[in-house]
Amino acid sequence: MGTKGDQFLLSPDFIAASVTLRGKCYQDVALNYDLFNQQLLLRYEDGMGALNIIEESKSWINGFRLGNMNFECLNLEHEPRFYQVLGEGPIRILYYWRKNLDLHVTTGSSDYTFTSAVRDSYVLLDGKLKPFRTKRSLIRLFDPGHRVEIRSYLRKNKINLKKASDNAISEMITYIGNFR
């Protein structure tokens, strides 16, 4: 009560998606991703027609797909976390999405507001997470012998890391992965 906004990635509505649990893929299930609590929620209808919502255990989840976004549950440096995965192969871009709950900025207010979704960007390189924020910090993660080519690719394709589509980022990291 009194909280503005919502804690979900896309919207409070459940959408038809797919989830892989213990290696088995389930299609067209109603899912939603709670960023604040870092939980994957599944809505289903029981035999009596009542709608139920359950939290899927991270230990069972291999990955899930919401719209065009592909997520994997990875245990890299912390407890298992959901990362949006872009690219294929040994080098991939991982986005960790989150929302915070902040006190509303109005003086004297006791209402809370969920922030907009915040994205932390990483490169998965040699099994380790390497954070980046800018083109420069991304380029510095790679071998000095390939930095000129990477910088040239980013300029030629006019890639703005904050605004680029997921597809453009996937193509970029696939291009970079070819240097190894």
pLDDT in tens, 58-117: 889 999 999 899 999 988 877 789 999 999 878 999 999 999 988 766 656 677 888 899
Whole-angstrom distance, CA of residue 8 vs CA of residue 100: 11
The rounded radius of gyration (Å) of the Cα atoms in the chain is: 19
Contacts of 169 (CB under 8 A, 6+ apart): 86, 87, 93, 159, 161
In a domain, 140, yes or no: no
Whole-angstrom distance, CA of residue 79 vs CA of residue 50: 34
Q: What is the pLDDT at residue 134?
A: 94
3-44 pLDDT, tens per residue? 888 899 999 999 999 999 999 999 999 999 999 999 999 999
In a domain, 76, yes or no: yes
Q: What is the pTM of this model?
A: 0.89
Strand 3-4's sheet: what is its strand order? 3-4, 112-114, 101-103
In a domain, 176, yes or no: no
In a domain, 70, yes or no: yes
In a domain, 74, yes or no: yes
Q: How many domains does the chain have?
A: 1
In a domain, 171, yes or no: no
1 — pLDDT class (breaks 50, 70, 90):
low
In a domain, 143, yes or no: no
In a domain, 174, yes or no: no
Domain boundaries, position 56: 3-133
Check if the beta carbon of residue 111 is closer than 8 Å to that of residue 104. Answer: yes
